[in-house]
């Protein structure tokens, strides 16, 4: 069939992302080339980079963004900062892509694929596992987490109507109490020039909101978050939603906007205002903003926190998969 595989650069991947001639399925924000590059730069120490691009003659049919340690390959992206991952594959070309990739990995002495946090619709679970079974490779996969997402209706009133009666009343009551507490402003920062100061606010509120978040935000993590925000803002994909009360920032959400979906990546709030539920309401107002801008899906991402269910999220299982290449 004339297949070839080459190892390429992040610059190449960026060009493929922006070139509409390539009919590739960039399934989520977590495989955006800029995201992959920041993840590699911050967390890739001690590993080798493998950016495998498979072509059928001149046509790209898939990309494997991998890091390799010893004889094990994983998709680029720390489990601490990437909610789910996958390969980048053209529709209908999964079997051909993975056949070429597996042959190349085996030839290079890579005998273990360690693939974490996969959605049921990932190409790993829809195509790669079937090929690995046909080749009689050893395969282990298991449920490791859940993600929650929400199909967005066309209006805010329709969204409220989808909630349970109790949760609808709670949202309205909490919003009313917030508006009664002072002058409320929810606004978006997305311009690259304003991102640095907004990230100062985000990092402050993130660390203040919970002790475990403060512990999580090491110097390495701060470097990742700042680099990621700059990269995503430059690509026009970042949205920082800030909730102010009497001009004081009380809560913030860090979101990404891609392909009619808003990804709620992380958040923080000032605990002195917890009685006003500012952390929750910042997310509610983010949902409202997403609806008003005509987005179709709101992704709460991994973790089964109760508020995600209360706000209408439905569960998506996430799996890990290990394949031994013989």
The pLDDT value recorded for residue 21 is 79
**Angle in degrees, CA 43, 31, 262, rounded to 5:** 110
The pLDDT value recorded for residue 1 is 62
Q: How far apart are CA 239 and CA 188, in angstroms?
A: 6
**Of 56, 28, 37, 48, which Cα lies nearest the Cα of 105?**
48
Q: How far apart are CA 242 and CA 9, in angstroms?
A: 36
Q: How far apart are CA 196 and CA 206, in angstroms?
A: 15
Mean pLDDT by runs of 10 across the 326 residues of the chain is 92 90 90 96 94 95 96 93 96 96 97 96 97 96 96 98 97 98 97 94 96 94 96 97 98 97 98 98 98 98 97 98 94
Residue found under tokens 């004081």: 248
The pLDDT value recorded for residue 161 is 97
The pLDDT value recorded for residue 19 is 82
Contact 326, 71 (CB under 8 A): no
H or E stretch including 60?
Answer: strand 59-69
The two tokens of residue 128 are: 């790669």
Q: How far apart are CA 217 and CA 156, in angstroms?
A: 34
- Specify the pTM: 0.95
Contact 199, 229 (CB under 8 A): yes
**Angle in degrees, CA 263, 268, 274, rounded to 5:** 125
Q: How far apart are CA 13 and CA 206, in angstroms?
A: 32
**Angle in degrees, CA 305, 279, 31, rounded to 5:** 60
The pLDDT value recorded for residue 111 is 95
Residue ranges of domains in the chain, CATH in brackets: 3-145+317-324 (3.40.630.30), 153-295 (3.40.630.30)
The pLDDT value recorded for residue 22 is 82
């Amino acid at each position: 069939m004339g297949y070839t595989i080459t190892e390429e650069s992040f610059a190449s991947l960026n060009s493929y992302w922006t070139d509409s001639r390539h009919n590739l399925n960039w399934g989520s924000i977590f495989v955006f080339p800029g995201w992959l590059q920041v993840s590699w730069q911050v967390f890739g120490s001690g590993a080798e980079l493998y950016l495998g691009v498979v072509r059928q003659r001149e046509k790209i049919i898939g990309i494997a963004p991998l890091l390799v340690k010893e004889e094990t390959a994983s998709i680029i992206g720390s489990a601490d900062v990437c909610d789910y991952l996958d390969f980048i594959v053209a529709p209908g070309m999964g079997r051909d892509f993975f056949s070429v990739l597996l042959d190349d990995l085996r030839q290079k002495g890579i005998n273990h694929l360690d693939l974490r946090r996969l959605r049921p619709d990932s190409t790993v679970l829809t195509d790669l596992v079937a090929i690995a079974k046909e080749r009689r490779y050893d395969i282990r996969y298991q449920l490791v987490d859940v993600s929650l997402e929400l199909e967005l209706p066309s209006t805010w009133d329709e969204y409220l109507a989808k909630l349970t009666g109790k949760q609808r009343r709670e949202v309205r009551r909490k919003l009313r109490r917030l508006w009664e507490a002072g002058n409320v402003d929810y606004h978006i920062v997305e311009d690259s020039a304003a991102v640095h100061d907004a990230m100062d606010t985000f990092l402050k509120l993130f660390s203040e909101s919970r002790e475990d978040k403060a512990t999580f935000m090491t110097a390495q993590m701060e470097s990742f978050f700042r680099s990621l925000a700059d990269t995503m803002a430059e690509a026009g994909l970042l949205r920082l939603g800030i909730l102010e009360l009497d001009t004081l920032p009380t809560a913030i959400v860090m979101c990404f906007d891609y392909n009619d979906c808003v990804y709620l990546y992380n958040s923080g709030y000032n605990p002195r205002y917890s009685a006003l539920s500012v952390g929750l309401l910042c997310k509610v107002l983010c949902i409202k903003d997403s609806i008003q801008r005509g987005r179709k899906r709101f992704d709460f991402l991994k973790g089964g926190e109760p508020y995600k269910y209360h706000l209408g999220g439905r569960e998506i299982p996430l799996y890990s998969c290990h394949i031994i290449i013989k």
